[in-house]
Structure 1
Amino acid sequence: MKIKQYRTLFIKELSSLYDAYEAESFFYLILEDKHKLRQIDLALNHELAFSDADLAVWSTFINELHKEVPIQYLLGKTNFYGLDFEVNENVLIPRPETEELVEWIVNENKQNDKLKKLKILDIGTGSGCVAISLAKNLPNAEVYAMDVSKKAIKTAKRNAVSNKVDVTFILKSVLELEILKSDYDIIVSNPPYVRNLEKQEIKKNVLDYEPHLALFVEDDDALIFYRKIAELAQKNLLEKGQLYFEINQYLGKEMTDLLEKMNFKNIELRKDIYDNDRMMKGMKSDL
């Protein structure tokens, strides 16, 4: 079957679950990954065709997409901040909003990075997307990354190797720490922050397939990770040290109050591309 004909069938087959734009994006992601063909290649050569064996592979993709398995897990990879990352059921799929957090840190520190060697800790690293992107874009930084999941750490280590950066990985539960073993210029974290009461807002492809350990917190203590990390930051940030968080969009005020009560200064809350409260920064106070 000609590929252009199959594309129409593919989009129609998924129309009950995905709009045409999303289904078409899936088609081209699979086409490039499995056949090394891009949209332009298809436009330039209308005679390109799939074999019966190819169609069997595509049928498997359609079956999994009907189950709403994330396309990133089906391909085993995704792009984040211009880099390719392996993703699997042990790590969250990186979001565009998190790219904004990385961009903020890079822009705030790329000039300073030329003057001194920055020491950075990413807490709850998952796939390693934040730590690795920072290591890639702040070449004078010494980057550390912590996670409670051994399987996530293994994935992140592979991503560090494939992206040719040095990151030191730490297998620890941050909630069990009273102090960090080292001091840092920057501590960043995108910890679990979705409350159980918000589960009804979560799409099936996230709720059924992404690791709940990295997503959810109890309703009655939604800031548990932020409070602990902020406590550690007050102990282990160097002079003028920076603390960055990705946050629950509904808890911007609560997060601002938390950092104020813990004596952070120059607190800044930022919105993401969807106009949601999503990121914040604080600086270590002179206690």
Structure 2
Amino acid sequence: MHSIYIDIIRSLSGFYPEPEAKALAKGILAEVFRFSTLDLYDGKDRDFSEKEHAELEDILARLKRFEPFQYITGETSFCGLPLHVAPGVLIPRPETAELVDWIVTDFGDEAHLNIVDIGTGSGCIAIALAKFLPGARVSAWDISDTALDIARRNAERNGVHVDFKQVDVLSHISAEGNAHIFVSNPPYIREREKTDMERNVLDWEPEQALFVPDDDPLRFYRKIAELGLVHLAPSGVLYVEINQAYGSETVDLLTGMGYRNVILRKDMSGNDRMVKAERP
């Protein structure tokens, strides 16, 4: 293995578990310094310039403060699409890609869909749906100016059109609409769960996009479902990502509000993670 790879792992020892330190070392060398697989495994020394050494030291210092690697590079991938990310938006998770896959599988053969993504953040869901359902008209809402700026940049980068709007969903009163799909990955982590979270999430990702009060963990789902009753077209469909601890409660909430054919689905790790429901 290349000596720089070994040095990076040694530097991060004590801050990250060994498997994570190894993954970070590979990511740094491949994504920042453009090491090929041969460069990494051949073990031959490659001269680093003074500038490259300074850049590496800066990256390592930021990682030791538990800044997410994606924020350091400003880049991540979601559903195979390149996205810019920064501390004003959540870093997209693989579980959210599963939610997108569910929608694309259900509607891949249909055209002229109207889709609304609520709490778009980086724009990952809206952009992926616009890319993989090219006949769809996609709107995306967020309360944050920073998030909307990043999402617009990501849509342009991926060559798709999304109608971005600044909306506070908790106070939004929707007019009668005709959306075929509501989709959302809203805040769903309870405040009391902070003690169990890693510092790279807790110290860096936006709290507004993560947390809900302990005494009202379903507040966003209730409001989104209320909006769906007036904004979704008849037999329109609601898809949401959920807190694994509240799968049955989310199903009961939607069923109690009259939604039909409510389905709870597990993610790749076997956790309750997604719910689909049809408007009555």
TM-score, length of structure 2 as denominator length? 0.96
Deviations 1:100-122 (A, max 9, x none): 111111111102x2xx3111000
Q: Which consecutive unaligned segments of at least 5 residues does structure 2 have?
A: none
For the pair 1:17 / 2:12, whether they are aligned, the reply is no
Q: Which range moves more in the overlay, 59-68 or 175-184?
A: 175-184
* Cα separation, 1, equivalents of 2:219 and 2:48: 52
The alpha carbon displacement at 1:202 in A equals 1.2
Aligned counterpart in structure 1 of residue 224 of structure 2, from 221, 225, 229: 229
Alignment-derived partner of residue 48 in structure 2: 50
* Cα separation, 2, equivalents of 1:64 and 1:181: 48
The question of whether the paired residues in 2 share the 8 Å contact of 1:28 and 1:38 is answered with: no
Q: Equivalences for 1:148-163 in 2 at 5 Å?
A: 148-163=143-158
Alignment-derived partner of residue 163 in structure 2: 168
The question of whether the paired residues in 2 share the 8 Å contact of 1:28 and 1:39 is answered with: no
Alignment-derived partner of residue 115 in structure 2: 120
Alignment-derived partner of residue 203 in structure 2: 208
Q: Equivalences for 1:67-146 in 2 at 5 Å?
A: 67-111=65-109, 113=110, 116-146=111-141
Aligned counterpart in structure 1 of residue 252 of structure 2, from 236, 257, 261: 257
* Cα separation, 2, equivalents of 1:50 and 1:181: 61
The alpha carbon displacement at 1:52 in A equals 2.6
Aligned counterpart in structure 2 of residue 178 of structure 1, from 135, 152, 173: 173
* Cα separation, 2, equivalents of 1:42 and 1:223: 47
Amino acid in the other structure paired with 1:65: L
For the pair 1:192 / 2:190, whether they are aligned, the reply is no
SS at match of 1:94: coil
Deviations 1:164-200 (A, max 9, x none): 1000001010111121464200000000111111111
Amino acid in the other structure paired with 2:78: F
The question of whether the paired residues in 1 share the 8 Å contact of 2:177 and 2:233 is answered with: no
The alpha carbon displacement at 1:55 in A equals 1.3
Q: What is the RMSD of the two structures over their aligned residues, measured on CA atoms?
A: 1.4
The alpha carbon displacement at 1:35 in A equals 2.4
Amino acid in the other structure paired with 2:19: Y
Aligned counterpart in structure 2 of residue 34 of structure 1, from 15, 18, 32: 32
Deviations 1:211-256 (A, max 9, x none): 0000001111111110010011011111221100000110011101
* Cα separation, 1, equivalents of 2:176 and 2:83: 28
* Cα separation, 2, equivalents of 1:167 and 1:182: 18
* Cα separation, 2, equivalents of 1:11 and 1:198: 30
Distance 1:246 1:95, change over 3 A: same
Distance 1:270 1:125, change over 3 A: same
Residue identity (%)? 45
The alpha carbon displacement at 1:38 in A equals 2.6
Deviations 1:138-188 (A, max 9, x none): 111110000000110000000000011000001010111121464200000
SS at match of 2:273: strand
Q: Which range moves more in the overlay, 170-179 or 150-159?
A: 170-179
The question of whether the paired residues in 2 share the 8 Å contact of 1:123 and 1:189 is answered with: yes
Deviations 1:45-66 (A, max 9, x none): 7243322321111111111111
Amino acid in the other structure paired with 1:177: H
* Cα separation, 1, equivalents of 2:227 and 2:70: 34
The question of whether the paired residues in 1 share the 8 Å contact of 2:123 and 2:151 is answered with: yes
TM-score, length of structure 1 as denominator length? 0.94
